[in-house]
Amino acid sequence: MNRRRHATAAITVICALTVLASPALTLQASAAPLPPPPPKKSLEEVRKEIDDLYRKAAVATDAYNLAEEKTKEQSAEIVRLARMIVDGREKIEELKSKAGAQARAQYRNGGLPDGAQLVLTNDPQLFLDAAGRLKSGAKATTDLLGEMTRTQAELDTYAKDASTNWTKLEAIRVKQAKAKKEINDKIAAAKKLESELAAEERERLRRLEEQAQLRAQTTWLGTGVLDGPQAGATAEGRRAVEFATAQIGKPYVWGAEGPGSYDCSGLTQRAWGAAGRGIPRTSQEQWRLLPHVDIKDMRPGDLIVYFKDASHIGMYVGNGVIVHAPRPGRNVTLAGAGSMEILGVVRPS
């Protein structure tokens, strides 16, 4: 009897354990398998991604620099208009003062207009003298009123122009802020990619960059582009090259125009400014507005523009070499003129 009770109890415990364990078994059986980890990018893929991010940052830098130039222009125009408004208001006050003087003179004459006094005089000579003064006075009054009307119209125009320029300035500032955010975002993303690499990988990445540039330079030289006679620099070109090469070792900083740091177009603009030739601020504007020359005819001091969007620029110094400010994290340096995709060549002088 006892053995039967013990067997029954054992069966009950086993059944209970089976019931309790079954949900866990069901959950384990129904759980979805974990997705495989994403394949690790090769260093070459990382290099290209970082290069693309810095390229996009360079495009945004050009947009920022152009907005900066436009901001300066609009601000100067607003200041000019404000001065003209002040001058116009002073002129209006002066004209009002003259009109007041005429009114006071009329009051001193007993309140009679000059025309009435002319009719009442009995002296022929006084009549003739008064007629001359009346004619001159009428012209002066007409001129005064006309000048006041013109000055007021000018003031209205200046005020309207100032309002329009202020609206433009605010729109440019919005573009500038957007470009600044994009620059910082792209640079931060590129730095994050680099920071995730081990020290050995970062060194290998640097060598990969150098190898890619060397291959591009070798391919470019292999086209025979420099096989013909090379033109010498002008006096201005030599001064520009001397200034640019003197900046070697200074860091790239986006939006910088020296003297302690530069971006690519800030360097070329300052170099040509030191040579006595003002050129536009951005690489895209330098490409758009400066005279183009055939690459086989380039000479030291000419500017080589890179990539289809004209987002980078360097100065040719001769022998297939440029001096340029490459990108964030790099310093002004010498590089192969064909180490990047060439869009064309422009000549500031």
Provide the annotated active-site residues: 264, 312, 324
Helix (H) or strand (E) holding 39: none
Between the CA of residue 331 and those of 251, 267, 270, 321, what are the distances in Å?
4, 12, 16, 16
CB count in 10 Å sphere of residue 332 = 22
Instruction: List, in order, residues 6 or more apart from 296 with CB less than 8 Å away.
Output: 225, 228
Distance, C-alpha 144 to centroid of its chain: 48
Pick from 238, 226, 247, 229: which is nearest to 349 by CA?
A: 238
Three-state SS at 336? strand
CB 250 within 8 A of CB 326: no
Between the CA of residue 31 and those of 15, 21, 23, 37, what are the distances in Å?
25, 16, 12, 18
How wide is the angle at C-alpha 338 spanned by C-alphas 192 and 242, nearest 5°?
90
Pick from 49, 40, 44: which is nearest to 192 by CA?
A: 49
Peptide bond just before 259 cis, omega within 30 deg = yes
Backbone angles phi, psi at 159, to 5 degrees: -65, -40
